[in-house]
């Protein structure tokens, strides 16, 4: 098929951005791939592995003929970096992102970018705790969900083009308004990361007499807490940009913990079993 874009710049050649580049190359969706970032080692690796064709480190070095700019940096950097790129962008350049927080980013981007440079917010729900270009793979998005967050200002042709790109790399595309997206992802993704970070810290600090408890954590604990290996600065930014949803989720979870604590303290076996059974049934529905 004909390429959707001539020159794609991936600002932030991490797992998602690099995997998108690989998948787009594999399907012939883009003719040339250029990376932007701070790490010479990561960008050089991306070139050596055929993820990107070239790279640059300074916003003013943005290729003038860029027609697709994908922002894959930590979410707090997306809008500020766009401001740095803007003086060097040409009319017609389509801008998108892969951030897992949308409302604040969409608002900021629509203020920053002129109508001649359309923005389409996107969040591919894929990936893992690894980062950088090394774990990237072209099949990362196959069967996964990619949420687009258009507004009344979103250019219809740009939206269709971004939707087609994600469909072609294997994602199931759907649209949500940015606020709804953040409320949902705040509960199902952002909150679990906060909980796991807290649990690992608690275990790391726990002592029984002089014995470090964390030394006895087995495979189940390691599997359960895998996401604590994710980049701390990335999840810091996500929590702060989506603080209302994360804080609300924490409050509700604390209530659940307090209820379970009360049942344990009062020896209420049937009540505990009922709560565990409800969770068991809900978990089975996720399989």
pLDDT digits (tens, 9 = 90+) for 49-70: 999 999 999 999 999 999 999 9
Whether residue 33 sits in one domain with residue 152: yes
Q: What is the mean pLDDT of the chain?
A: 94
In whole angstroms, give the CA distance from residue 182 to residue 271: 33
User: Helices 178-185 and 243-265: crossing angle, nearest 10°?
Assistant: 30
Q: Quick check: 15 and 36 in contact, CB under 8 A?
A: no
Task: Return the H-helix or E-strand segment holding 54.
Answer: strand 54-56
pLDDT at res. 1: 60
pTM, to two decimals: 0.91
Give the per-residue pLDDT at 229.
86
Last residue of a domain, one of 141, 176, 211: 176
Q: What tens digit of pLDDT does each residue of 127-185 get?
A: 777 778 889 999 999 999 999 999 999 999 999 999 999 999 999 999 999 999 999 99
Per-residue pLDDT band for 81 (boundaries 50, 70, 90) equals very high
Q: Closest Cα partner for 100 from 227, 3, 222?
A: 227
What mean pLDDT do residues 66-93 have?
A: 96
Considering the domain architecture, whether residues 161 and 194 belong to the same structural domain is answered as: no
Instruction: Please tell me whether residues 153 and 201 are part of one structural domain.
Output: no
**Does the pLDDT at position 224 exceed 90?**
no
Contact 169, 23 (CB under 8 A): yes
pLDDT for the residue numbered 189: 94
Among residues 120, 240, 248, 134, the alpha carbon closest in space to that of 183 is found at: 248
Using alpha carbons, select from 30, 32, 48 the residue that is nearest to residue 40.
Answer: 48
Whether the predicted pLDDT of 260 surpasses 90: yes
Average pLDDT over residues 112-133: 90
Task: Write the DSSP assignment of 210-270 as a string of letters.
Answer: TEEGGGG--HHHHHHTGGGGS-HHHHHHHHHHTHHHHHHHHHHHHHHHHHHHHHHHTT-HH
Looking at 128, 147, 176, the residue that finishes a domain is 176
pLDDT at 20: 97
The reply to whether 142 and 184 lie within a common domain is: no
How many separate domains does the chain show? 2
Write the CATH number for 226.
1.10.3660.10
In this prediction, residue 30 carries a pLDDT of 97
pLDDT recorded at residue 185: 96
Question: Domain check: are 33 and 135 in the same one?
Answer: yes
Inform me whether the pLDDT recorded for 89 exceeds 70.
Answer: yes
Region of 101 (left: φ > 0; alpha: ψ -120 to 50; beta: rest) is beta
Q: Is the pLDDT of residue 227 over 90?
A: no
Q: Which domain holds residue 158?
A: 5-176
149 and 128, same structural domain?
Answer: yes
Q: Are residues 143 and 171 in the same domain?
A: yes
Average pLDDT estimate for 242-260 = 97
Could you say which of 156, 176, 196 is where a domain stops?
Answer: 176
CATH of the domain at 139: 3.40.50.720
13 and 132 share a domain? Answer: yes
Q: Are residues 249 and 135 in the same domain?
A: no
Rounded CA separation 23/17 (Å): 10
């Amino acid at each position: 098929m004909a390429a959707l874009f001539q020159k794609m710049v991936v600002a932030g050649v991490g797992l998602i951005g690099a995997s998108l580049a690989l998948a787009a190359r594999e399907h012939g969706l883009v003719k040339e791939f250029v990376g932007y970032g701070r790490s010479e080692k990561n960008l050089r690796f991306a070139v050596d592995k055929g993820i990107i064709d070239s790279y640059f480190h300074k916003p003013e070095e943005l290729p003038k003929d860029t027609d697709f700019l994908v922002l894959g940096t930590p979410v707090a950097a997306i809008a500020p970096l766009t401001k740095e790129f803007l003086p060097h962008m040409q009319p017609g350049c389509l801008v998108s992102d892969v951030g897992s927080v949308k409302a604040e980013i969409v608002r900021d981007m629509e203020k920053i970018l002129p109508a001649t440079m359309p923005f389409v917010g996107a969040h591919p729900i894929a990936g893992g705790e690894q980062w950088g270009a090394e774990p990237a793979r072209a099949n990362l998005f196959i069967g996964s969900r990619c949420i687009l967050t258009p507004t009344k200002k979103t250019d219809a042709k740009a939206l269709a083009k971004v939707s087609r790109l994600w469909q072609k790399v294997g994602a199931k595309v759907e649209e949500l308004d940015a606020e709804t997206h953040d409320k949902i992802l705040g509960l199902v993704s952002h909150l679990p990361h906060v909980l796991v970070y807290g649990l690992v810290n608690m275990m790391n600090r726990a002592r029984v007499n002089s014995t470090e408890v964390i030394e006895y954590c087995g495979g189940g604990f390691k599997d359960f807490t895998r996401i604590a290996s994710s980049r701390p600065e990335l999840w810091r930014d996500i929590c702060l940009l989506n603080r209302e949803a994360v804080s609300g989720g924490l409050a509700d979870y604390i209530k659940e913990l307090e209820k379970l604590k009360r049942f344990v303290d009062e020896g209420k076996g049937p009540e505990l079993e009922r709560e565990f059974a409800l969770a068991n049934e809900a978990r089975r529905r996720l399989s």
